[in-house]
Amino acid sequence: MSGASPDQLIWVPKASAIAREAGARLREFFSQGVETEYKGDVDLVTVADRTVEKLIRTRLGEAFPEHGVYGEEGTRERMEGEFRWYVDPLDGTTNFAHGFPQFCVSLGLEQRRVQTLEETGSGRVGPQDGTIVAGVIYDPMRDELYTAERGRGARLNGKPIHTSPIAFLAESLVSTGFPSRKRHDSPNIHFYHEFTLRSHGVRRAGSAALDLAYVASGRLEAFWEFNLNPWDTAAGILLVQEAGGQVTDFAGGAFQLNSREVLASNGLIHEELVGLFKDMFAGRNLSPIPTPQEFAQQRAERAAAE
């Protein structure tokens, strides 16, 4: 993290303008109301998702002609390039389709690792995960623009943001999400239950990108989900890291863009979260959930130790 001034940022200024324009289109569609189609099971899509992805693809092509674009609604352009934008034109489609005002535009830029001639024999970009170097998330209903570039801090509407200082899961507000495909296969309801009883609460607000932005801005202490795609996470994970938080897989290992699972936190409760995941996956007896009296006693002990 650093306090680099906004005019030193390389990609964020143009990407922010694109996200704002895309968000304005989403706002128009939202106020008109749109018809919903099914991609499968309860996986919804609307004309807004498709139109806004097209708009973003065009604008990114104009602003960054060398960069690749990989969008949820099917865009695959310049996939061989060193840089690649992961685009979710509308994260929170189910909310959007129901008139529930929690959704956003998410743009994350990956710098892909160029393999050496010795490694490939051809000098082409290899399949390894690259590094996320920029992220922009725009919530058009609240006019909130979250931005980050690697090594240059995270901002909300231009002001630096930081993850929360809370150090215990028992005092945390956390969030998660559930897949809209293969819903029956998801084990997450068990985690939802367990975390609900061990924290101030678990929110399921319906936009993974905003959940990550909320961890970055200290509104939430943590977020996890089992089955995400790079367009959901690319921008948000950089925001969390640049705001001082931590992002890993459920075992505490390095987060990979294509590994689908994500565990993001303010860093301070990360070890506790990883421990709980470990015990739950192992089917071990978990430590008992505290009674209200024990909760009060533990709170008092923590306060005394400060």
Residue ranges in contact with Ca ion by CB under 5 A:
72, 88, 90-91, 232
Q: How far apart are CA 280 and CA 274, in angstroms?
A: 10
CB nearer to ligand IPD: give 180 or 298: 180
Q: How far apart are CA 125 and CA 66, in angstroms?
A: 14
Burial 15-35 (b: 16+ CB within 10 A, else e): bbebbeebbebbeebbeeeee
91 vs 139, beta carbon nearer Ca ion: 91
Residue 179 is a binding residue for ligand IPD (CB under 6 A) = yes
CA distance 131 to 23: 26
Question: Shortest gap between Cβ of 57 and ligand IPD (angstroms)?
Answer: 16
User: If binding is defined by CB under 6 A, does position 46 make contact with ligand IPD?
Assistant: no
Closest CB 107 distance from ligand IPD, rounded Å: 13
What string marks each residue from 215 to 254 as x (binds ligand IPD by CB under 6 A) or -? ----------x--x---x----------------------
d(CA 67, CA 18): 15
Q: Based on the number of CB atoms within 10 Å of its own CB, is 63 exposed (0-12), middle (13-18) or buried (19 or more)?
A: middle
What residue has token string 């998801």?
186
Piece of the chain touching ligand IPD by CB under 6 A; list 24-32, 131-139, 201-209, 287-295 = 201-209
Backbone angles phi, psi at 67, to 5 degrees: -80, 145
Part of the chain binding ligand IPD (CB under 6 A), chosen from 75-83, 204-212, 234-242, 293-301: 204-212
Q: Residue 53 touches which of Ca ion, ligand IPD, none (CB < 5 to 8 A by kind)?
A: none
Could you tell me if 208 and 91 are in contact, meaning their C-beta atoms sit under 8 angstroms apart? Answer: yes
Q: Is residue 51 part of the contact set for ligand IPD (CB under 6 A)?
A: no
Task: Give residues in contact with ligand IPD (CB under 6 A).
Answer: 72, 88, 91-94, 177-180, 206-208, 225, 228, 232
